[in-house]
Structure 1
Amino acid sequence: MRNRLLAALAPLALAASAHAAPVNLVVNGSFEANAVPNGVWMNVASVQGWQVVGGPGTGFEVRDNVIGTAHGGRNFIELDTNGNTTIEQVFGNLVGGAAYDLSFWYSPRVGLPAATTGMGVLWNGQSLAGTIAAAGGNANLWTEYHFTVTAQSGVNSLRFASLGTSDSLGANLDDVSLVAQVPEPSTPALLGLGLCGLAWMRRRKA
């Protein structure tokens, strides 16, 4: 009887698990869409999912194993190419009022002081962390940052801005992620699942 109950409840559990699986809503969050040769960097004004929306810099760099390595994959970006730059990705399909988990990895540029490696992150124009900055070491020193953000109705904006000295040497960014928060199964939901199982057992016994 117990095995039959488990078999009956298994599809429900699988459906709940599939529903709860996190999906990264950021397009090209790891900056791998551009094929960049090993040891080469590209100065761009836009890539898939991202575009420059503020200067004085006119672009940002997509790097592949040059002056540091990526946190994940092959590519990462540096925001300050020929001056401080702000990049943006917009989201038009988020649920207004819903909470989302935002995460990304930051590293100062190799060998530079914190004054030139500052970076800011903004959600719908509001700063989430002030200036993120650190002194660079002998290699990229990746640190992960997490925030909970709330979506507004309509279009939502995620921006990263170079905030250090505007000198063509700046902050590195990789593995940006935005996922909807999935609530844990509530007590009433679990109780309801149990009652369904008991009802099924009684029907079988009758």
Structure 2
Amino acid sequence: MKNFYKSVVSILLVAPIYASAAVDLVTNGSFEADLQDNGSWNLYSTLIGWSGAPDVELRNNVAGSAFDGSNFVELDTNSNSSISQLLIGTPGLYQLSFWFSARPGTGSDTNDLSFTLDGSAPVTVLTGVGGGSDHNWQNYSALFNFDGEGLLTFSAAGVSDSLGGSLDMISMTSTIPEPKIVEMILVGFLLLSLTLRCTSKAYFSRNNH
């Protein structure tokens, strides 16, 4: 009986921890999975998890410092470009978050950055901002009702001159409990309730004789 109680208590204690853990749908959101020499940059048609159109500029702490880790991307390569990733997950409410900045030492007309999610109208998050001596990273965060599959795309939207805004630490997270975890919690409570009832009946039965 003691072992049974320990099992039920373990379920009740551990399950909420897993239930509240955020599930991130974005692969390689900080671009650290791609190897880029320190202080260098290059153009790529794809990065791990991402597709460029036509390509994407990966930088390792050059022309500005990364927000997270060492790598970040610029989307105005030889001309305005974009990156996309197909997100797949359980339908529900998700939080999209990313960090962006004007490129250091640039004018206010070249850094515009926009994104679309699952075919939505483009949202411009950086417009009319010039760059200083280093990145001035800012965060964008918003909630979206996600139907389980959709394309996330970031695009350069300023003057197409090979100089553009920077992007780093992208995530698409849900804190909604996973169905299996919810089931585990409910089963744990049910077993505990039944056990307490049986124990109470046995106790009253012994004391009434």
TM-score by length of 1: 0.80
Cα distance between partner residues in 1 of 2:89 and 2:193: 38
- Which sections of structure 2, spanning at least 5 residues, go unmatched? 178-184, 204-209
Matched ranges for 1:182-197 at <5 A: 182=176
Q: Does 1:143 align with 2:131?
A: no
Offset of residue 166 of structure 1: 0.5
Contact 1:120 1:127 in 2 (8 A): no
**1:158 equivalent in structure 2:** 152
Using a 3 Å threshold, how does the CA distance of structure 1 residues 65 and 130 change in structure 2: closer, same or farther?
Answer: closer
Contact 2:12 2:189 in 1 (8 A): no
Root mean square deviation of aligned Cα: 2.7
Amino acid at match of 1:179: T
Which of 124, 133, 137 aligns to 1:130? It is 124
| Larger mean Cα displacement after TM superposition, 43-52 or 193-202 | 193-202
**1:94 equivalent in structure 2:** 89
**1:19 equivalent in structure 2:** 19
Using a 3 Å threshold, how does the CA distance of structure 1 residues 7 and 90 change in structure 2: closer, same or farther?
Answer: closer
**1:186 equivalent in structure 2:** none
Using a 3 Å threshold, how does the CA distance of structure 1 residues 127 and 114 change in structure 2: closer, same or farther?
Answer: farther
Cα distance between partner residues in 2 of 1:130 and 1:76: 19
User: How many residues are treated as equivalent by the alignment?
Assistant: 190
Aligned residue for 1:72, secondary structure, equals coil
TM-score by length of 2: 0.79
Identity %: 33
Cα distance between partner residues in 2 of 1:172 and 1:89: 17
Contact 2:11 2:188 in 1 (8 A): no
Cα distance between partner residues in 1 of 2:47 and 2:79: 18
Amino acid at match of 1:150: N
Which of 63, 74, 78 aligns to 2:74? It is 78
Cα distance between partner residues in 1 of 2:192 and 2:8: 8
